[in-house]
């Protein structure tokens, strides 16, 4: 269902960024590229705009949003950084990392955007278009992934258009993203916890912290600490079958690496996340390939095993959610 807005798509560039800034200032909804996935942004301090954003996405309002800012100085106006949070920010910002920290006094982010929590999720994205928009706007921009709630995250402007045409004012097209899975989320409210595996590998985060991160999400997926980590998320309509060692008649194949599976014939639709077995390439391809395979009319999508180290942790997490029965 459309909400009846005229959605404009503009190319990234000076003019596109200026239009995005103006739209944010006017309380509008702007989809823009970050290096992980496209985000749907609005002025974090404007509660009415935040309410419209939840409505446009069809997102439950108890699921809080990430506040995006241009640099650490801006982040410290929103949240309180302890030693671990500051070490992580220094090492990985700008980049595919989100930290959850206690709200600063006079935190400008609307309560609706943090779902009334005392903490706030903050990210400094590296994508040049996101940086230009955030610097031009000046304030914090809350931005969930720019998809309808429960759908696969968008890694290209066309994916945003399919999900949100008529529901947002502006889509800034900056081409396909480079990372392809959402940011890793680290809770820094005490001992650091990995709330969501993502585009920054756990190993890199642990190397900077000098200790292991706990992973509460994997131990109990029905009770997520990041409230948005609901079990059935990132879901294509077609049934997804994991750890496939053969392809059944009528299934499409999401392959990884060079191995050939039994059951594949000339009629099988095959997309390979990475022929070379490269996890970075696989992450960048993941959501786009799931979207593409979802419209092939296959009876199911068989997925080959993907290694679990590095970016493989986030890839396996998203695949597991894509394969969950729908609630």
**Residue in 304, 314, 271 with CA at minimum distance from that of residue 290:** 271
Residue 230 region by backbone torsions, left for phi larger than 0, else alpha for psi between -120 and 50, else beta: beta
Q: Are the beta carbons of 314 and 273 closer than 8 angstroms? A: no
Among 12, 66, 74, 235, binds ligand TXA (CB under 6 A): 66
Among 36, 131, 238, 274, binds ligand TXA (CB under 6 A): 36
Q: Is 44 in the site for ligand TXA (CB under 6 A)?
A: no
Q: Which of residues 104-123 bind ligand TXA (CB under 6 A)?
A: 114, 117, 119-121, 123
Span interacting with Mg ion, options 127-135, 145-153, 302-310, 312-320, rule CB under 5 A: 145-153
Q: Are the beta carbons of 255 and 247 closer than 8 angstroms? A: no
Q: Is 155 in the site for Mg ion (CB under 5 A)?
A: no
Q: Residue 312: name its binding partner from Mg ion, ligand TXA, none (Cβ under 5 to 8 Å by kind).
A: none
Nearer to ligand TXA by C-beta: 49 or 298?
49
Give how far Cα 77 sits from Cα of 41, 89, 122, Å. 19, 14, 11
Q: How far is the CB of 44 from ligand TXA (least distance, A)?
A: 12
Q: Is 145 in the site for Mg ion (CB under 5 A)?
A: yes
Q: Which stretches of the chain are DSSP H helices?
A: 14-25, 47-57, 72-75, 83-92, 128-137, 157-164, 202-209, 216-219, 279-294, 312-323
| Number of residues located near Mg ion, criterion CB under 5 A | 1
Q: Is 46 in the site for Mg ion (CB under 5 A)?
A: no
Q: How far is the CB of 145 from Mg ion (least distance, A)?
A: 3
What ranges make up the beta strands (E) of 154-275?
Answer: 170-173, 184-187, 193-196, 240-241, 251-255, 270-272
Nearer to Mg ion by C-beta: 84 or 182?
182
Q: Is 182 in the site for ligand TXA (CB under 6 A)?
A: yes
Which residues sit at the interface with Mg ion, rule CB under 5 A?
A: 145
């Amino acid at each position: 269902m459309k909400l009846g807005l005229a959605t404009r798509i503009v190319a990234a560039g000076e003019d596109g960024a200026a239009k995005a800034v103006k739209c944010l200032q006017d309380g509008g909804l702007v989809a823009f590229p970050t290096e992980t996935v496209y985000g749907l942004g609005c002025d974090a301090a404007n509660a009415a705009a935040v309410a419209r954003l939840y409505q446009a996405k069809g997102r439950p309002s108890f699921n809080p949003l990430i506040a995006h800012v241009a640099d650490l100085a801006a982040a410290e106006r929103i949240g309180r950084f302890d030693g671990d949070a500051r070490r992580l920010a220094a090492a990985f910002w700008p980049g595919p990392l989100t930290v959850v920290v206690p709200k600063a006094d006079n935190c400008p982010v609307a309560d609706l955007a943090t779902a009334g929590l005392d903490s706030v999720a903050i990210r400094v994205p590296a994508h040049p278009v996101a940086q230009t928009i955030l610097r031009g706007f000046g304030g914090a921009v809350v931005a969930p992934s720019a998809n309808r709630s429960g759908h696969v995250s968008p890694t290209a402007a066309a994916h945003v258009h399919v999900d949100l045409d008529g529901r947002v004012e502006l889509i800034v097209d900056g081409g396909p993203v480079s990372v392809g899975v959402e940011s890793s989320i680290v809770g820094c409210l005490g001992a650091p916890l990995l709330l969501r595996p993502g585009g920054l590998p756990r190993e890199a985060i642990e190397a900077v912290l000098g200790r292991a991160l706990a992973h509460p999400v994997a131990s109990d997926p029905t009770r997520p600490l990041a409230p948005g980590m609901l079990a059935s998320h990132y879901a294509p309509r077609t049934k997804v079958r994991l750890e496939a060692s053969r392809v059944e008649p009528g299934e499409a194949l999401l392959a990884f690496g060079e191995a050939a599976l039994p059951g594949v014939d000339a009629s099988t639709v095959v997309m390979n996340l990475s022929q070379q077995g490269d996890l970075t390439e696989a992450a960048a391809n993941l959501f786009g390939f799931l979207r593409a395979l979802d419209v092939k009319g296959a009876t199911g999508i068989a997925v080959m095993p993907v290694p679990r180290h590095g970016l493989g942790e986030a890839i396996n997490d998203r695949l597991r959610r894509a394969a969950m029965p729908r609630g």
